[in-house]
Amino acid sequence: MHCQSFSDWAAPAAEVSEVNITNSSSQEEGPQQIAVRIIQRAWKSYVHREVFRYFKELISHCNQGDPRTILKTVNPREIFLWQAELLDAAAGAYIRFRLGGITFPPNIYYKIFTHRPITDVCANSPKNYTQRSLKKPAARPTNNGRPLVQVENSGWYQRMENNSWRLFCCRMVPMGEPTEIGANKKKDFHHSRLQRQQDVDQWRKRRKIEWLKQM
C-alpha cells in the first residue's frame, strides 16, 4: 500500500461534503428535498466509514511489516539515517502509526520506537554542584519553618525530543516541509527516577482534571 491511494479515498468525501441543497428560507422543504437530504447523509456516512476502515486496515498492515521496508515507502530520506545504525534485527525497532488532524479524512503520523532498553548518557552528566542553592540547609533553619531556597536548574541538562510524530502521508502533496508534532520540544528530565515518576503522576492527574472540567 502506497501513499498515493490516500487521494483516491479522500476525493469522494470531499465531493460529498461540498454538495449543498439550496433551500429558500421563505418556503418549506418538500418531501423530495427531505428524501434527497436523507440519501446524502446516508451516503456521506457510508463513505466516511469506508475511509476509516481503509485507514484501519492500512495501519494494521504497516504494523506487521518490516520497518526498513515501510520507511522506503514513507520517507526515503530517513532510511539512510536509520538503516545503518538502528533499523536492524538487534535493535528491536518498530514503527507505530496513529491518526491526527482536525479534518476528515485524517492524516497518518508515524514514530519510531524500540523494544531494547535505552540509556540517556547525558542525563548523568556532571552538574554544577557548587551552587549555593544546591547545598542542603542546616537543621536549625529547617526545623524552625523558614522558607527553603528554590533549587535552580539553569545549568542542568535539558532533553530535546527529536523523535517526534512525523507525517506519514497527507491528502494532497504539501508545498513545503510537513510539520512535525512535538518537534524541538523541551522536556524537564530530573536525575532522580522517583521524581520523574512523581512528575508523570502529577501530569496525568492534571490531564484528568482538565478532561473532567470539559464534561
**Residue 2 predicted with pLDDT over 60:** no
Grid cell, residue 41, equals 447523509
DSSP class per residue in 23-45? --SSS---HHHHHHHHHHHHHHH
- The rounded radius of gyration (Å) of the Cα atoms in the chain is 26
Residue 142: which domain range? 5-21+29-214
Per-residue model confidence (pLDDT) at position 59? 81
Alpha carbons 67 and 47: distance in angstroms, whole number: 30
pTM summary value: 0.47
Angle ∠(104,106,109) on CA atoms, nearest 5: 170
> Model confidence over 153-165: pLDDT tens digits?
666 666 666 677 8
Pick from 112, 110, 101: which is nearest to 51 by CA? 101
Distance CA 147, CA 131 (A): 18
What's the chain's length in residues? 215
Choice between 170 and 162, residue whose per-residue pLDDT is larger: 162
Scan for cell 541538562, then name that residue: 157
pLDDT in tens, 58-82: 888 877 777 777 777 666 666 555 5
Give the number of domains in the chain. 1
CA angle 208, 210, 211 (to 5 degrees): 65
14-63 pLDDT tens trace? 444 444 444 444 356 788 888 888 999 999 889 888 888 888 888 888 77
